Amino acid sequence: MKTLLIGKDGQVGWELQRALSPLGELVSLGRQQIDLTDIDAVRDCVRAHRPKVIVNAAAYTAVDKAETEPEQARLVNDHAVKTLAEEALRLESLFVHYSTDYVFDGNKTTAYQEDDETSPLSVYGRTKRDGENAIRKSGCKHLIFRTSWVYSVYGTNFPLAILRRALERDRIDVVSDSVGAPTSASLIADVTAHVLYRSVWDPALTKSAGGTYHLTASGETSWYEYAKFLVGQAEKKKIPLKVTSNMVFPVSADTYKTVAKRPKNSLLDNRKLCAQFGLVLPGWETHVERFVDELVWAKLL
Ligand SMILES: NC(=O)c1ccc[n+]([C@@H]2O[C@H](COP(=O)([O-])OP(=O)(O)OC[C@H]3O[C@@H](n4cnc5c(N)ncnc54)[C@H](OP(=O)(O)O)[C@@H]3O)[C@@H](O)[C@H]2O)c1
Protein backbone atom coordinates (compact mmCIF):
# COMPACT_ATOMS: atom_id res chain seq x y z
CA MET A 1 0.00 0.00 0.00
CA LYS A 2 1.49 3.33 -1.03
CA THR A 3 0.35 6.28 1.06
CA LEU A 4 0.90 9.92 0.20
CA LEU A 5 0.96 12.09 3.33
CA ILE A 6 0.52 15.82 2.72
CA GLY A 7 1.27 18.30 5.52
CA LYS A 8 3.98 16.24 7.23
CA ASP A 9 5.28 19.13 9.35
CA GLY A 10 2.05 20.09 11.14
CA GLN A 11 1.04 18.78 14.57
CA VAL A 12 -1.01 15.91 13.14
CA GLY A 13 1.27 15.43 10.12
CA TRP A 14 4.32 14.96 12.32
CA GLU A 15 2.59 12.20 14.30
CA LEU A 16 1.22 10.61 11.13
CA GLN A 17 4.77 10.20 9.80
CA ARG A 18 5.36 7.90 12.78
CA ALA A 19 1.98 6.16 12.93
CA LEU A 20 1.60 5.42 9.20
CA SER A 21 5.16 4.15 8.68
CA PRO A 22 4.42 0.44 9.46
CA LEU A 23 1.54 0.27 6.97
CA GLY A 24 3.60 0.18 3.78
CA GLU A 25 5.38 2.65 1.53
CA LEU A 26 4.93 6.17 2.87
CA VAL A 27 5.74 9.33 0.93
CA SER A 28 5.61 12.33 3.28
CA LEU A 29 5.51 15.84 1.82
CA GLY A 30 5.60 19.28 3.42
CA ARG A 31 4.95 22.74 2.04
CA GLN A 32 8.40 22.74 0.35
CA GLN A 33 7.42 19.76 -1.79
CA ILE A 34 3.72 20.57 -2.35
CA ASP A 35 2.17 24.01 -2.00
CA LEU A 36 -1.60 23.64 -1.74
CA THR A 37 -2.16 27.14 -3.14
CA ASP A 38 -0.79 25.86 -6.47
CA ILE A 39 -3.67 23.72 -7.71
CA ASP A 40 -1.89 22.49 -10.87
CA ALA A 41 1.09 21.39 -8.79
CA VAL A 42 -1.24 19.52 -6.42
CA ARG A 43 -2.76 17.61 -9.34
CA ASP A 44 0.66 16.85 -10.88
CA CYS A 45 2.04 15.67 -7.55
CA VAL A 46 -0.73 13.10 -7.01
CA ARG A 47 -0.46 11.89 -10.60
CA ALA A 48 3.31 11.47 -10.23
CA HIS A 49 3.05 9.39 -7.05
CA ARG A 50 -0.14 7.37 -7.84
CA PRO A 51 -0.84 6.51 -4.16
CA LYS A 52 -3.49 4.03 -2.98
CA VAL A 53 -4.20 6.30 -0.02
CA ILE A 54 -3.95 10.10 0.21
CA VAL A 55 -3.82 11.53 3.74
CA ASN A 56 -4.18 15.30 3.91
CA ALA A 57 -3.03 16.77 7.22
CA ALA A 58 -2.25 20.19 5.71
CA ALA A 59 -4.63 23.07 6.25
CA TYR A 60 -4.76 26.83 6.56
CA THR A 61 -5.24 26.83 10.36
CA ALA A 62 -4.61 30.50 11.28
CA VAL A 63 -8.21 31.12 12.35
CA ASP A 64 -7.97 34.89 12.96
CA LYS A 65 -5.68 35.59 10.00
CA ALA A 66 -8.12 33.80 7.68
CA GLU A 67 -10.58 36.68 8.23
CA THR A 68 -8.20 39.00 6.34
CA GLU A 69 -6.78 36.34 3.97
CA PRO A 70 -9.95 34.53 2.89
CA GLU A 71 -8.64 33.70 -0.60
CA GLN A 72 -5.56 31.91 0.79
CA ALA A 73 -7.68 29.97 3.28
CA ARG A 74 -10.11 28.99 0.53
CA LEU A 75 -7.36 27.78 -1.80
CA VAL A 76 -5.86 25.49 0.85
CA ASN A 77 -8.97 24.33 2.74
CA ASP A 78 -11.41 24.08 -0.15
CA HIS A 79 -9.97 24.24 -3.70
CA ALA A 80 -6.87 22.08 -3.06
CA VAL A 81 -9.02 19.60 -1.12
CA LYS A 82 -11.45 19.39 -4.05
CA THR A 83 -8.53 18.68 -6.39
CA LEU A 84 -7.17 15.97 -4.08
CA ALA A 85 -10.61 14.38 -3.96
CA GLU A 86 -10.93 14.44 -7.77
CA GLU A 87 -7.51 12.83 -8.11
CA ALA A 88 -8.39 10.19 -5.51
CA LEU A 89 -11.49 9.34 -7.55
CA ARG A 90 -9.43 9.13 -10.73
CA LEU A 91 -6.94 6.72 -9.11
CA GLU A 92 -9.66 4.87 -7.16
CA SER A 93 -7.66 5.75 -4.04
CA LEU A 94 -8.90 6.36 -0.52
CA PHE A 95 -8.82 10.01 0.59
CA VAL A 96 -8.32 10.67 4.31
CA HIS A 97 -8.91 14.26 5.40
CA TYR A 98 -9.25 16.19 8.68
CA SER A 99 -11.85 18.76 9.58
CA THR A 100 -12.95 20.70 12.60
CA ASP A 101 -15.56 21.55 15.22
CA TYR A 102 -15.50 25.07 13.68
CA VAL A 103 -17.92 23.83 10.99
CA PHE A 104 -20.57 24.21 13.74
CA ASP A 105 -21.78 27.42 15.43
CA GLY A 106 -21.53 25.96 18.94
CA ASN A 107 -25.13 26.77 19.89
CA LYS A 108 -26.10 23.13 20.50
CA THR A 109 -26.25 22.24 24.20
CA THR A 110 -25.00 18.66 23.74
CA ALA A 111 -22.19 17.07 21.71
CA TYR A 112 -22.47 17.41 17.94
CA GLN A 113 -23.29 14.34 15.83
CA GLU A 114 -21.75 13.83 12.39
CA ASP A 115 -24.99 14.63 10.57
CA ASP A 116 -25.89 17.77 12.53
CA GLU A 117 -26.35 20.82 10.36
CA THR A 118 -23.17 22.86 9.88
CA SER A 119 -23.21 26.60 10.43
CA PRO A 120 -19.65 27.98 10.65
CA LEU A 121 -19.01 31.35 12.31
CA SER A 122 -15.69 32.17 10.61
CA VAL A 123 -13.87 32.17 7.27
CA TYR A 124 -11.77 29.24 8.51
CA GLY A 125 -14.89 27.28 9.45
CA ARG A 126 -16.63 28.03 6.15
CA THR A 127 -13.61 27.00 4.05
CA LYS A 128 -13.24 23.76 6.05
CA ARG A 129 -16.99 23.03 5.66
CA ASP A 130 -16.76 23.67 1.91
CA GLY A 131 -13.70 21.38 1.67
CA GLU A 132 -15.69 18.61 3.36
CA ASN A 133 -18.59 19.09 0.95
CA ALA A 134 -16.26 19.06 -2.07
CA ILE A 135 -14.95 15.64 -0.98
CA ARG A 136 -18.48 14.23 -0.59
CA LYS A 137 -19.55 15.69 -3.93
CA SER A 138 -16.52 14.24 -5.78
CA GLY A 139 -17.69 10.68 -5.18
CA CYS A 140 -14.25 9.44 -4.09
CA LYS A 141 -13.77 6.86 -1.31
CA HIS A 142 -13.11 8.98 1.72
CA LEU A 143 -12.79 9.29 5.47
CA ILE A 144 -13.26 12.75 6.97
CA PHE A 145 -12.17 12.95 10.60
CA ARG A 146 -13.48 16.01 12.43
CA THR A 147 -11.44 16.83 15.49
CA SER A 148 -11.02 19.64 18.05
CA TRP A 149 -8.62 21.41 20.42
CA VAL A 150 -5.54 19.68 18.92
CA TYR A 151 -2.19 19.82 20.70
CA SER A 152 1.21 18.17 20.59
CA VAL A 153 4.66 18.72 22.04
CA TYR A 154 5.63 20.14 18.63
CA GLY A 155 3.56 23.06 17.47
CA THR A 156 1.77 26.18 18.56
CA ASN A 157 -1.11 25.35 20.83
CA PHE A 158 -3.08 26.17 23.99
CA PRO A 159 -1.34 23.88 26.53
CA LEU A 160 2.14 25.07 25.52
CA ALA A 161 0.98 28.71 25.82
CA ILE A 162 -0.57 28.08 29.26
CA LEU A 163 2.53 26.37 30.65
CA ARG A 164 4.75 29.16 29.27
CA ARG A 165 2.53 31.74 31.01
CA ALA A 166 2.60 29.73 34.23
CA LEU A 167 6.41 29.98 34.23
CA GLU A 168 6.36 33.77 33.74
CA ARG A 169 3.21 35.36 35.18
CA ASP A 170 1.60 35.82 38.60
CA ARG A 171 -1.91 34.79 37.52
CA ILE A 172 -3.63 33.34 34.47
CA ASP A 173 -7.16 34.19 33.34
CA VAL A 174 -8.77 31.53 31.16
CA VAL A 175 -12.13 31.32 29.41
CA SER A 176 -14.52 29.09 31.35
CA ASP A 177 -17.66 29.20 29.20
CA SER A 178 -16.39 27.29 26.15
CA VAL A 179 -16.36 23.51 26.26
CA GLY A 180 -14.59 20.82 24.24
CA ALA A 181 -12.29 17.82 24.41
CA PRO A 182 -8.53 18.40 24.09
CA THR A 183 -7.26 15.86 21.57
CA SER A 184 -3.62 14.95 21.08
CA ALA A 185 -2.16 14.78 17.58
CA SER A 186 -0.73 11.37 18.50
CA LEU A 187 -4.21 10.00 19.27
CA ILE A 188 -5.49 11.32 15.93
CA ALA A 189 -2.55 9.72 14.10
CA ASP A 190 -2.87 6.39 15.90
CA VAL A 191 -6.60 6.15 15.23
CA THR A 192 -6.01 7.04 11.57
CA ALA A 193 -3.42 4.24 11.31
CA HIS A 194 -5.75 1.78 13.02
CA VAL A 195 -8.60 2.59 10.64
CA LEU A 196 -6.30 2.37 7.61
CA TYR A 197 -4.91 -0.96 8.81
CA ARG A 198 -8.44 -2.36 9.09
CA SER A 199 -9.12 -1.04 5.60
CA VAL A 200 -6.05 -2.75 4.10
CA TRP A 201 -7.26 -6.14 5.29
CA ASP A 202 -10.89 -5.48 4.60
CA PRO A 203 -11.39 -3.05 1.67
CA ALA A 204 -15.13 -3.74 1.83
CA LEU A 205 -15.09 -2.04 5.23
CA THR A 206 -13.83 1.24 3.77
CA LYS A 207 -16.41 0.98 1.03
CA SER A 208 -19.24 0.52 3.49
CA ALA A 209 -17.80 2.59 6.34
CA GLY A 210 -16.46 5.59 4.42
CA GLY A 211 -17.79 8.97 5.42
CA THR A 212 -17.48 11.48 8.22
CA TYR A 213 -16.42 10.65 11.78
CA HIS A 214 -15.80 12.64 14.93
CA LEU A 215 -12.31 11.82 16.21
CA THR A 216 -11.71 13.38 19.62
CA ALA A 217 -10.66 12.21 23.06
CA SER A 218 -13.59 11.31 25.30
CA GLY A 219 -15.01 13.47 28.10
CA GLU A 220 -15.36 17.22 28.21
CA THR A 221 -13.83 20.24 29.86
CA SER A 222 -13.62 24.04 29.59
CA TRP A 223 -10.46 25.96 28.62
CA TYR A 224 -10.29 27.07 32.29
CA GLU A 225 -10.53 23.54 33.76
CA TYR A 226 -8.06 22.33 31.16
CA ALA A 227 -5.54 25.05 32.13
CA LYS A 228 -5.98 24.24 35.84
CA PHE A 229 -5.40 20.56 35.11
CA LEU A 230 -2.24 21.32 33.10
CA VAL A 231 -0.77 23.53 35.81
CA GLY A 232 -1.71 20.90 38.43
CA GLN A 233 0.14 18.21 36.48
CA ALA A 234 3.23 20.39 36.17
CA GLU A 235 3.07 21.09 39.93
CA LYS A 236 2.98 17.35 40.64
CA LYS A 237 6.21 17.05 38.63
CA LYS A 238 7.76 19.75 40.86
CA ILE A 239 8.21 22.19 37.97
CA PRO A 240 9.00 25.62 39.52
CA LEU A 241 6.04 27.58 38.14
CA LYS A 242 5.21 31.14 39.21
CA VAL A 243 1.52 30.23 39.06
CA THR A 244 -0.09 27.36 40.97
CA SER A 245 -3.40 25.82 39.95
CA ASN A 246 -5.32 28.00 42.47
CA MET A 247 -3.96 31.09 40.66
CA VAL A 248 -5.76 30.16 37.44
CA PHE A 249 -9.02 32.18 37.23
CA PRO A 250 -12.17 31.76 35.12
CA VAL A 251 -13.30 34.52 32.77
CA SER A 252 -16.07 34.75 30.19
CA ALA A 253 -15.25 34.34 26.48
CA ASP A 254 -16.93 37.72 25.97
CA THR A 255 -14.04 39.44 27.79
CA TYR A 256 -11.63 38.21 25.07
CA LYS A 257 -12.30 39.83 21.72
CA THR A 258 -10.88 37.73 18.90
CA VAL A 259 -10.94 38.63 15.21
CA ALA A 260 -12.77 35.43 14.25
CA LYS A 261 -15.81 34.14 16.15
CA ARG A 262 -15.39 30.73 17.75
CA PRO A 263 -18.01 28.16 18.79
CA LYS A 264 -18.67 27.99 22.55
CA ASN A 265 -19.56 24.31 22.32
CA SER A 266 -16.85 22.30 20.53
CA LEU A 267 -17.99 18.89 21.78
CA LEU A 268 -18.03 16.23 19.06
CA ASP A 269 -19.73 12.91 19.80
CA ASN A 270 -17.15 10.21 18.93
CA ARG A 271 -19.39 7.14 19.44
CA LYS A 272 -19.92 6.47 15.71
CA LEU A 273 -16.16 6.08 15.14
CA CYS A 274 -15.77 3.80 18.18
CA ALA A 275 -18.67 1.58 17.15
CA GLN A 276 -17.67 1.32 13.48
CA PHE A 277 -13.99 0.52 14.01
CA GLY A 278 -13.99 -1.19 17.41
CA LEU A 279 -12.13 1.58 19.22
CA VAL A 280 -12.13 2.95 22.74
CA LEU A 281 -11.11 6.60 22.82
CA PRO A 282 -9.50 7.54 26.15
CA GLY A 283 -10.62 10.45 28.32
CA TRP A 284 -8.86 13.73 27.42
CA GLU A 285 -6.88 13.71 30.71
CA THR A 286 -4.90 10.58 29.71
CA HIS A 287 -3.00 12.20 26.85
CA VAL A 288 -2.70 15.59 28.60
CA GLU A 289 -0.90 13.90 31.52
CA ARG A 290 1.39 12.21 29.03
CA PHE A 291 2.00 15.51 27.24
CA VAL A 292 3.23 17.13 30.49
CA ASP A 293 5.42 14.05 31.21
CA GLU A 294 6.97 14.29 27.74
CA LEU A 295 7.77 17.98 28.22
CA VAL A 296 9.36 17.26 31.59
CA TRP A 297 11.42 14.29 30.38
CA ALA A 298 12.64 16.22 27.35
CA LYS A 299 13.49 19.14 29.67
CA LEU A 300 11.22 21.38 27.59
CA LEU A 301 9.48 22.51 30.80
N1 LIG B 1 -5.16 22.70 15.62
C2 LIG B 1 -6.42 22.50 16.04
O3 LIG B 1 -6.78 22.83 17.18
C4 LIG B 1 -7.42 21.82 15.14
C5 LIG B 1 -8.74 21.68 15.60
C6 LIG B 1 -9.68 21.04 14.79
C7 LIG B 1 -9.30 20.55 13.55
N8 LIG B 1 -8.02 20.71 13.11
C9 LIG B 1 -7.69 20.20 11.77
O10 LIG B 1 -6.73 19.16 11.92
C11 LIG B 1 -5.84 19.16 10.78
C12 LIG B 1 -4.40 19.21 11.27
O13 LIG B 1 -4.24 20.38 12.07
P14 LIG B 1 -2.86 20.73 12.79
O15 LIG B 1 -3.17 21.23 14.15
O16 LIG B 1 -1.91 19.60 12.61
O17 LIG B 1 -2.40 21.97 11.90
P18 LIG B 1 -0.99 22.71 11.84
O19 LIG B 1 -0.11 22.25 12.94
O20 LIG B 1 -1.30 24.15 11.68
O21 LIG B 1 -0.38 22.13 10.49
C22 LIG B 1 -0.91 22.48 9.25
C23 LIG B 1 0.13 22.14 8.21
O24 LIG B 1 -0.40 22.58 6.94
C25 LIG B 1 0.66 23.17 6.23
N26 LIG B 1 0.19 24.12 5.24
C27 LIG B 1 -0.47 25.29 5.44
N28 LIG B 1 -0.64 25.92 4.27
C29 LIG B 1 -0.07 25.13 3.31
C30 LIG B 1 0.09 25.24 1.92
N31 LIG B 1 -0.34 26.30 1.24
N32 LIG B 1 0.70 24.24 1.27
C33 LIG B 1 1.18 23.16 1.92
N34 LIG B 1 1.08 23.00 3.25
C35 LIG B 1 0.46 23.98 3.93
C36 LIG B 1 1.48 23.88 7.29
O37 LIG B 1 2.76 24.13 6.74
P38 LIG B 1 3.82 25.08 7.48
O39 LIG B 1 4.35 24.21 8.58
O40 LIG B 1 4.80 25.38 6.40
O41 LIG B 1 3.05 26.26 7.95
C42 LIG B 1 1.46 22.88 8.43
O43 LIG B 1 2.54 21.98 8.32
C44 LIG B 1 -6.26 20.33 9.92
O45 LIG B 1 -7.12 19.87 8.92
C46 LIG B 1 -7.04 21.24 10.86
O47 LIG B 1 -8.01 22.00 10.17
C48 LIG B 1 -7.07 21.32 13.88
pLDDT at 285: 98
Distance 13 CA to ligand 1 centre (A): 8
Residue 252, CA distances (Å) to 16, 248, 257 in order: 35, 13, 11
Q: Whose CA is nearest to atom 42 of ligand 1?
A: 10
Active site positions, annotated? 124
Look at residues 155, 143, 189 and name the one whose alpha carbon lies nearest to residue 28: 189
Task: Judge whether 52 and 196 are in contact, CB under 8 Å.
Answer: no
Q: Which atom of ligand 1 is nearest to the CA of 75?
A: 31
Flag residues of the chain having pLDDT under 50. Answer: none
Q: How far is the CA of 236 from the centre of ligand 1 (A)?
A: 32
What is the C-alpha separation between 191 and 206, in angstroms, rounded?
A: 14
- Summarised one tens digit per residue, pLDDT across range 105-139 is 999 999 999 999 999 999 999 999 999 999 999 99
As a whole number of angstroms, the distance between CA 215 and CA 98 comes to 9
CATH number of 2-152+183-218+267-282: 3.40.50.720
Query: How many residues are given for the chain?
Result: 301
**Pocket residues: Cβ below 6 A from ligand 1:** 7, 9-13, 31, 34-37, 57-61, 76, 98, 100-101, 128, 147-150, 155, 185
CA–centroid distance, 180 to ligand 1, in Å, is 19
Measured in angstroms, how far is the CA atom of residue 189 from the centroid of ligand 1? 14
Query: pLDDT value at position 281?
Result: 98
For residues 96 and 142, the answer to whether their CB atoms sit within 8 Å is yes
Domain locations in the chain as residue ranges: 2-152+183-218+267-282
The β-bridge partners of 268 are: 112
Which of 33, 43, 61, 112 has most ligand 1 atoms within 8 Å of CB, for mutation? Answer: 61
Torsion of CA 122, 105, 193, 62, to 10 degrees: 20
What pLDDT shows up at residue 206? 66
pLDDT at position 289 is 97
- Nearest CA to 46 out of 2, 77, 98 is that of 2
